[in-house]
Amino acid sequence: MIRAFRALAALAAASVALAATPAERKIDLAKSEIAKEPGRAGPYNALAMALASRARETGDPRYYAQGEEAVARSLKNEPGNLEGLRAQVWLSLGQHQFDKAREQAVALNKKVPDDLLTYAFLVDANAELGRYDEAEKAAQWLLDMRPGNVLGLTRAAYLRELFGDLEGALEMMNKAFQRTDPAETEDQAWILAHVSHLQLLMGQIEVADAAAQEALRLFPKYHYALGSLGKVRMQQGRYQDAVEFYRRLHQEAPHPENLYELGKALLAAGEAEEAAKVFARFESEARGEMKGPDNSNRELVFYYVDVARKPEEALRVAELEISRRKDVYTLDAYAWALFAAGKVQEADTQMKQALKVGVKDPGVLSHARAILEKLKAGSETNSRASVQ
């Protein structure tokens, strides 16, 4: 499979050598069309979607704000136009406004019940909110309406991962890669980064390394690929190399969560003094965005539990985030905060909710084991006390 990745990646890379990225080309084309026909909605919709793609290419959320401006112009020119409403949902998802995105997608689905992209939106929003039954139904609609379409394959792959079917998830991602236009180099690199992630979960470290390297060759400096390679190096015990990948990741996508990963890598590499500085910066920046929808709250919880040893603060942040969404990973963070605060029974209840989905993420499973062991130890202590 990696050979196939390399062949297709080389083809795509050759076709766009020294050219702008796919999103940049679409942005330029949309702006050209707007200059010709500023009164139409279509070019503004194309611009909004291209800006959303550019946000994913770069990890820079400022492109979403520009996309919102383009959508506003579109809907002013042609109120209620379908493409403008679609772009609205896409931008809401990109900005992690998942409740809003779900409401928009539900309304759009009622208006146009056979639109594939709308079902993709429903999968994304419901999965991020932890409404997995609804996400699964939307994904099935996607695949039933057009079997083998890339939108359906990538979303079904994500759900299969959450449900514990890693082999099935990998198979679907591989199919999605094969069916993606080679000119869409960022789309292919995004899929490869997720393939790498799945292979790492399956313990296939060298294959995961190769897939992430292909993503980086296909789309140089790609933040998702850099993050994947950082995880691979950590698994390999090559901590100094992991530090360098996470430095590059934060340079390309300067978000607080990437500082947290850098701090962990520095600690593993034995650079405690620099790690402390990075963690201090992470805490400051993460707290600055704590109340917004696009935040680093889960990382902040883990920082307060595992690094700063401030369980009360961890629980406060976790309670804020769990009030917004109840996906597997937020449940895990909430359970870990409860555990650190000594609320072991409550932690077990929340962790059972997360595990019920079927997730096999090593971090989640590690937390689950620690909670269970503490619970068992407490039960044994109580039993001995009652006997005495």
Q: What pLDDT does 378 receive?
A: 74
Q: What is the pLDDT of residues 307-326, one digit of tens each?
A: 999 999 999 999 999 999 99
Q: What pLDDT does 304 receive?
A: 98
- Between CA 113 and CA 82 the distance in angstroms is 12
First-to-final CA distance of the chain: 63
Average pLDDT over residues 211-228: 98
CA 192 to chain centre: 14
For the chain, domains (ranges, CATH) are 116-176 (1.25.40.10)
Q: What pLDDT does 10 receive?
A: 47
Q: How much of the chain, in percent, has pLDDT values that exceed 70?
A: 93
For helices 239-252 and 256-268, angle between their N-to-C axes, nearest 10 degrees: 170
Task: Report whether pLDDT(179) > 70.
Answer: yes
* pTM, entire model: 0.91
CA 149 to chain centre: 21
Task: Report whether pLDDT(305) > 70.
Answer: yes
Q: What pLDDT does 347 receive?
A: 98
Pick the closest to residue 287 from 278, 279, 297 (CA basis): 297
Structure tokens at 94: 């990109």
Q: What pLDDT does 135 receive?
A: 98
Residue type, 86: R
CB atoms within 10 A of CB 16: 17
Residue 22 pLDDT grade (very low, low, confident, very high; cuts 50, 70, 90): very high
Task: Report whether pLDDT(328) > 50.
Answer: yes
Task: Report whether pLDDT(13) > 70.
Answer: no
Average pLDDT over residues 152-174: 98
Task: Report whether pLDDT(17) > 50.
Answer: no
- Between CA 188 and CA 50 the distance in angstroms is 16
Average pLDDT over residues 94-104: 98
Pick the closest to residue 51 from 18, 5, 98, 94 (CA basis): 94
